A and B are shown apart, each in its own frame.
Chain A
Amino acid sequence: MTFMKKTLTASIAVAAASTMAVSTAHAEISDNEVRIGYLADMSGTYRDLAGPGGEAAMEMAIADFGGSVNGSPIVIFSADDRNSADVGANTVREWIDQRNVDMVGGLVASSVSIAVTKVLEENNGLGIVSGSAASSVTNEHCTPNHIHWVYDTYPLANGTAKAVVEQGGDSWFLLTADYAFGHALEADVTKVVEANGGEIVGGVRHPFPTSDFSSYILQAQGSGAKIVGLANAGADTVNAITTASQFGLTQSGQQLAGLLIFLNDVHALGLESTQGLLLTTGWYWNMDEESREWSERYFEEVGRMPTMVQAGIYSSTMHYLKAVEAAGTDDPEVVRAQMADMPIEDFFARNGSIREDGRMIHDMYLAQVKTPEESTGEWDLYEILSTIPADEAYRPLSDSQCKLVQN
């Protein structure tokens, strides 16, 4: 060969060899960093149940884990999805294309989660949905690229609605938020109420979000139903409850059933107007010693007691990082499988495990809001009445429409 050709061949050979060496050394953790994206409503209706507090929980998990996995630092990106499916999906697309994000967490409004998980499926990413409620996230909208962590509308209906019907509340009027979450909750509650001998006598769907509930409360009063079920969340629920008390809803003999109530809602409304409300929760800060310990640490950082979603974000991030460490890589498919292989038993989840449809099942709890006399502190708000075991709380796989389930 000529000199030029020899040098060229040699340089190509060296280049190829070094690329191979480089790629083998970095095949474990992509970009030598574990990148997590936190996507949630940071300024709107659902800010206080996850929001910046959820990001703080994620940071706590990363710090407690040591800040790095097998020598690769852990990095967070965060963004405000404004409860918009478009904004959420585009943000995640950008994160995947430009920042090689390995896992997307947070995910609050159900419409956002459904859109984002589709993007993750197209790009073979991994997501952990902690804030959303719609059970459709692991039903018709399931994907192999996400896990649903904290709770969903199925145990909410099974817990709260069932308990209310058993107490005599057999005629219902449903006030529903008009989007994916509200529809899912409405459907699940209707099934449970009817299965337990009750009846849905009427309902109305309100735009999401709404601040003026006066005309809907009026319709609820006119329906004659014993129970007015609130199939909405966050600021919507707070507004609805406030308006209901202004219009004397409970004075005229009807009862409110809050189908999705968070700790921060009860705190904002006060025990006067929420006492006696039945609710289903995935976790409560004061339910036992372990939870209390973690919550007190969280309170030091953030200044408010954590909601179940914020605790779930910590728990899921920790589990994810443990899985990355055990698998030795941040490849989404491998980590997903590793996460499913490991049971979850921490301060947040009891008897926790991840099913083939991506649903993380764990014990749920029926709780009741304390009366002002029973409460011993600003955040001492719930009484846990009973436990709904993990294998009973969630939609059984035999009923599932998820494409990943062999039915």
Chain B
Amino acid sequence: MTMIFGVPLAVFMGQLTLGLVNGAFYALLSLGLAVIFGLLKIVNFAHGAQYMLGAFAALLGFRYLGINYWLALFLVPLVVGSFGMLIERFLLRRIAHLDHLYGLLLTFGLALIFEGTLVNFFGVSGARYATPEALQGGLNLGFMFLPTYRAWVLVAALAMCLFTWFMIERTRLGAYLRAGTENSQLMQAFGVNVPLLITLTYGFGVALAAFAGVLAAPLYPVSPTMGSSLLIVVFAVVVIGGMGSILGAILTGLGMGVIEGLTKVYYPEASNTVIFLVMILVLMLRPAGLFGKEA
């Protein structure tokens, strides 16, 4: 049996695969955060709670309205994203002219409200969301049994990341957005409704988080606190990648997923902290992040 640093090849490959799946997940989540921070300069601490709201919306939609998984994948981001737009329009816009810290505090407060309300009604044990039939079972890859659903998460997350990157970097709408955040007065002079663009963009970032939430619902028990532990990791990923870089968020997310996966093989006790160690290293050596532009 081939060994890699004392671990059998099969186990190594298995962990690598799982690491990629997790990484795609981190990429999707940090993408939403990077879009919101990079373009709107809002530190969205409610991102984890919005991810959780996506998962909950899928769960409750199924329980009370009979909305199945595939419909939820489409509807839930729209619903939660619209909710996000309301937050931007009525809350965040009022403090947009202030220091970033206020945006952080406001969104943090919102996160606590969402989580606390749901904990009150649902407890923290978490509810199960059934894996859709078409995605049940698994693929025997030889070195491991990969549940089909996880393969789907990898594909869906990467597809969404690619789509977002394309929209922002390669379309006119994306160009307007990028220009609008650099010089909003000039853009408004050209007739572009910049405030509306900002609201839509925040809504889009939130929708990305909710999309990740629906993807997560069959994987992890749907609990009101599922977003809070993930949020801090996602922030670390965004910091490592570079706060303003879309591509950086995607590549770093994947990379960190793999690093975390490998840590779980060789020294599992550190798997919760390895991403933060990397963040510290990156901040010391390249403060703007791996793909960030020096401000």
Residues in A lying within 8 Å of B, measured CB to CB: 43-45, 47-48, 178, 204-207, 209-212, 214-216, 218-219, 221-222, 235, 238-239, 242, 246-248, 252, 264-265, 268-270
Contacts and interface: CB of A to CB of B under 8 A. Distances in A.
Contacts of A44: 124, 225
B253 to A, nearest CB: 15
A150 B271 CA distance: 33
Given A43-B119, A207-B269, A247-B138, A235 B145 contact: no
Tell me which of B8, B144, B268 has the highest count of chain A C-beta atoms within 10 A of its own C-beta.
B268
Given A47-B124, A235-B124, A206 B268 contact: yes
Nearest to A46: B124
Tell me which of A45, A48, A219, A246 has the highest count of chain B C-beta atoms within 10 A of its own C-beta.
A246
A246 B11 contact: no
Nearest to B131: A246
What are the nearest 7 A-B pairs in CB distance?
A: A215-B264, A207-B272, A268-B125, A48-B125, A47-B124, A222-B11, A218-B14
Interface string B229-251: 11000000000000000000000
Contacts of A215: 14-15, 18-19, 261, 264-265, 268
A43 B15 contact: no
Given A248-B145, A264-B125, 7 more contacts: A44-B124, A178-B269, A212-B22, A215-B15, A238-B221, A246-B147, A268-B127
Interface residues of B, number: 38
Contacts of B268: 178, 204-207, 215-216
A218 B144 contact: yes
B283 to A, nearest CB: 23
A334 B198 CA distance: 68
A235 B125 contact: yes
A256 B10 CA distance: 22
A216 B268 CA distance: 9
B109 interface: no
Contacts of B124: 43-45, 47-48, 235
Contact of B10 (A222, A246, A252): A222
A214 to B, nearest CB: 5
B128 interface: yes
B226 interface: yes
B149 interface: yes
A235 B126 contact: yes
Contacts of B272: 207, 210
A219 B138 CA distance: 17
Contacts of A222: 8, 10-11, 14
B11 A219 contact: yes
A48 B124 CA distance: 7
B271 A207 contact: yes
Contacts of A210: 272
Tell me which of A47, A209, A218 has the highest count of chain B C-beta atoms within 10 A of its own C-beta.
A218
Interface string B13-43: 0110011011000000000000000000000
Interface string B145-165: 101011000000000000000
Contacts of A205: 268-269
Interface string B57-100: 00000000000000000000000000000000000000000000
Contacts of B230: 211
Interface in B268-283: 268-269, 271-272
A195 to B, nearest CB: 27
A45 B225 CA distance: 10
A265 B225 CA distance: 17
28 contacts: A43-B119, A43-B124, A45-B124, A178-B268, A178-B269, A206-B268, A209-B229, A210-B272, A212-B22, A215-B15, A215-B18, A218-B18, A218-B144, A219-B11, A221-B145, A222-B10, A222-B11, A235-B126, A235-B223, A238-B125, A242-B128, A242-B221, A246-B147, A246-B150, A247-B147, A268-B125, A268-B221, A269-B128
A211 B229 contact: yes
A150 to B, nearest CB: 19
B113 to A, nearest CB: 14
Given A215-B264, A215-B265, A239-B220, A47 B123 contact: yes
Interface string B122-138: 01111110010000001
A209 B126 CA distance: 14
A44 B119 CA distance: 10
Contacts of B225: 43-44
A235 B123 CA distance: 11
A211 B229 CA distance: 9
Nearest to A249: B145
B15 to A, nearest CB: 5
Contacts of A206: 268, 271
A47 B124 CA distance: 7
A270 B125 contact: no
A246 B138 CA distance: 8
A211 B125 contact: no
Contact of A239 (B11, B19, B144, B221): B221
B187 to A, nearest CB: 42
A246 B127 CA distance: 16
Given A246-B147, A248-B145, A270 B11 contact: no
Tell me which of B119, B124, B128, B265 has the highest count of chain A C-beta atoms within 10 A of its own C-beta.
B124
A246 B149 contact: yes
Interface in B141-194: 144-145, 147, 149-150
B127 A247 contact: no
